Chain A
Amino acid sequence: MSIAIRGISKQFGQATVLREISDEVPQGSMTALLGPSGSGKSTLLRIIAGLETHDAGTIELNGRDVTGVPVRHRNIGFCFQDYAPFNQLTVFDNVAYGLKVHRVAKADRRRRVEELLGLVRLEEFSDRYPRQLSGGQRQRMALARALAIEPEVLLLDEPFAALDAQVGGELRTWVRSLQREVGITTILVTHNQVEAMEVADRLVILNDGRIEQVGTPHEVYDRPATAFVQGFLGPLTTWRGTSVRPHDLELGRDGAGTSVEVSDVVRLGFEVRVVVRDGAEAPWVQLTHDEAARLNPVVGESLVLRPRQ
C-alpha cells in the first residue's frame, strides 16, 4: 500500500470537514478524490501533504507513519490549482529549486532539469519566466518542478480547473500518460466527474466529509452504492417514481411499452435529448445522433417509452 489514510477527522471551528476517512491508495495508481465543493476533498489532500493539521487519525506513506512529520520531510510532490510558479525565477530555476534544496551537484542538477523539461516538453522555454508561459505550459512546469525531487507520491489539487476546456482536455490525456510513464502514485482532487473518470483508474467519492464509495470509474458508474453517487456521476431522470440514467431508456414507434407524448427535442451534436410526457412525469431520453436520425422524433407526436434492452 502506497498511501494509507486511517481514520482522518478534521474540524474547522464548529464545522466538521472530514469524518473518520480511511482509504488505501495502491502503489502506482491514479486516484481521484471526487466530490462537490465543501465535501472535504481538498482538505484531505492538504492533510496528506502535511499542509494542514488534522484532529484524529494517521497518514502512512509507503509504510512510514508521517503523521506530525513536517511537509518538507514528507517527500511529496504537490501542485496547486494556480500552479504557484516562482515568478521571479526562470522555468529552469523553478524546476531546479527542489534539487538545490537537496544539494544536488550543479552538473547533475542541470542534467536532471533538462531531462524533466524534455519530459514536460518545455525544453525551449527554460530561460523564460512563468508569466511568459500559457496556463497549460505553467502547469507542465509545476509538474516538472514537483517531480524533480523524485517524490514518493504526487498530489494534484484541481489540476485542470483553471484551464479552458480544450487545453484542459489535451492536458488530461497527457497527464495520464505521464503518470503511467513515471509510475508515480498520484492523488488528484476534482469536482468534475467526467475529468475524474477520464484521468483516474480509481475514484474516491466524497460527500459532506464522508466517503460515499470507492471503486474503478466503471464500478461506481454502473453500480453506484448510494443515491448521491448515482446522481453525482451522471445524468438522472425520473420515470415511474424511480431514478434511471436517461441512456437506459429507449423510444420506439411500436412494440411493448408506455405510450408517451414528445414535448421537446434538444440537439447537442452527438447527443440528442428527447423530453416526453407520461401523465404527471416528464422523463427525458438520451439518444445518439444516429438513433435520433432513425427515429426522427417530432414535438407533439406519440411514441412508445420502455427500458433499453
Chain B
Amino acid sequence: MRRSPVWLRLLVLVYVGALVALPLGFIFQQAFAHGVASFVSALSDPEMDKAMELTALVALVAVPLNAVFGIGVSLWIVRHPSRITRLLDALIDVPLALSPIIVGLMLELAYAQSGWFGHPLAAWGIKIVFSYPGIVLASVFVSLPLVSRQLTPLLREVGTHQEQTAATLGAGPVRIFFTVTLRSITWAAAYGITLTLARVIGEYGAVLIVSGNISYLTETLTLNIGNNFENFNAHQGFVGASLLATVSVLVLLALGFARHRERQRHEYRH
C-alpha cells in the first residue's frame, strides 16, 4: 500500500493531538502539579472515595443489566422480526439522540414522588429519584443501545446455520446458546459492554438531575469532580478526573488488545 502524504499525516497528528492527547495529558499534569505526595493524599479524600464507591456500585448493576438486555433484545430483533421489533429497533436509538439533560428531566417527571410511576411506587415505599435506583435508571437509559447496536448487524451476518447444525449434533437450546451463539458474538458483546461501562461511569447530565447531587449519598465520581471545580477545589477535581480518565483508557486498551488477538487467531491463510 502507498503511504499517505506527509502533510496529511501531520494534519491528522496535530488534529488528534490538539483534541485528545494534549488535553488528556493536561489533566494528568494538573493532577500531579503539587507533587506525588499531594496526589496520594488527595486520593484518600473521603467524599471522593464515597463517590467512587457509588459509581462502582452503579456500574456493577447498570452494566450487567444492559448487557443482558442488549443480547436479548438484539436476538429478538434479528431472529423474530415483526412490527413490534421494528418499532423497538427505532426506539432503542432514542437514548443516543436525546441530550442527557432531557433524559434526566424525563425520568424525574416520571419517577419523582409526584410523577406518573413515582407516585404509586412511593406508596409502596420505593424511592427512585434522588436515590440510588434513580442513578442506575439514568445510567441504564443513556447506555441502552450500546450493546445491541454492536450485536444486531453481527447476528444478521452470522445467521442460524451454526445453531441448527449444533441442534442436529444433539445440542439443546442452552448448550447452543453458550457454545455457539455467545461464542460467535463474544468480542462484539465485549466491545459493546466496554462502551456501556465507559458511558455509565462517565455520565454527568442525566445523573445530575435524577440524583439530586447529595454529598456522600447520591454523588457519583463525575458529580464529585464537577462539585470540586465549582467549589474552587480544582486540584481535587483534577485528581478525580485523572482517575476516571485512567479507568477509561485502561478499559479501551484492554479491549483493543483483545480484539487484536482475536483477529490474529482468525487471520486468513493466503
Interface, chain A (partner B; CB < 8 A): 49, 51, 70-78, 80, 82, 84-89, 97-98, 101-102, 128-129, 131-133, 142, 145-146, 148-149, 151
Contacts and interface: CB of A to CB of B under 8 A. Distances in A.
Contacts of B267: 131-132
B165 A78 contact: yes
Given A129-B266, A131-B268, A84 B161 contact: yes
Nearest to A103: B170
Contacts of B269: 128, 132-133
B265 to A, nearest CB: 7
B165 A101 contact: no
A87 B165 CA distance: 13
* Interface magnitude class on chain B: 20 to 34
B164 A71 contact: yes
A97 B171 CA distance: 9
Nearest to A82: B161
17 contacts: A51-B168, A72-B168, A72-B172, A73-B170, A78-B164, A84-B161, A85-B162, A86-B166, A87-B266, A88-B184, A97-B171, A97-B179, A101-B170, A101-B175, A131-B266, A146-B168, A149-B170
Contacts of B9: none
B183 interface: yes
B180 A78 contact: no
Q: 10 shortest A-B CB distances, which residue pairs?
A: A98-B169, A84-B161, A78-B168, A101-B170, A132-B269, A88-B183, A84-B165, A80-B161, A71-B167, A84-B162
A246 B159 CA distance: 44
Find the residue from B171, B186, B268 having the highest chain A CB count within 10 A: B171
Given A88-B184, A101-B175, A145 B161 contact: no
A129 B268 CA distance: 9
A50 to B, nearest CB: 8
Find the residue from A73, A87, A142 having the highest chain B CB count within 10 A: A87
B171 A72 contact: yes
A89 B170 CA distance: 17
A72 to B, nearest CB: 5
Contacts of A80: 161, 164-165
Contacts of A73: 170
Contact of A129 (B166, B179, B265): B265
A76 B168 contact: yes
Contacts of A87: 162, 184, 266
A70 B169 CA distance: 12
A146 B268 CA distance: 24
Contacts of B179: 97
Contact of B170 (A86, A88, A102, A131): A102
Contact of B268 (A132, A142, A145): A132
A72 B167 CA distance: 5
A132 B267 CA distance: 7
A187 to B, nearest CB: 14
A70 B176 CA distance: 14
A77 B166 CA distance: 10
Find the residue from B161, B175, B183 having the highest chain A CB count within 10 A: B161
Contacts of A49: 168
Contacts of B166: 86, 97, 101
A51 B164 contact: yes
Nearest to B168: A78
Contacts of B159: 82, 84
A226 B7 CA distance: 73
Nearest to B176: A72
A24 B266 CA distance: 44
B220 to A, nearest CB: 37
A129 B183 CA distance: 14
B266 A71 contact: no
B168 A86 contact: no
Contacts of A71: 164, 167-168
Contacts of A77: 168
Contacts of A74: 168
B266 A86 contact: no
B241 to A, nearest CB: 39
Contacts of A148: 169
A40 B266 CA distance: 36
A80 B175 CA distance: 20
A78 B166 CA distance: 10
A81 to B, nearest CB: 9
A142 B162 CA distance: 11
A129 B266 CA distance: 7
Contacts of A84: 159, 161-162, 164-165
Contacts of A142: 165
Given A86-B166, A86-B180, 9 more contacts: A75-B170, A78-B164, A78-B168, A84-B159, A86-B183, A101-B169, A128-B269, A131-B266, A146-B168
A82 B161 CA distance: 8
Interface in B118-165: 159, 161-162, 164-165
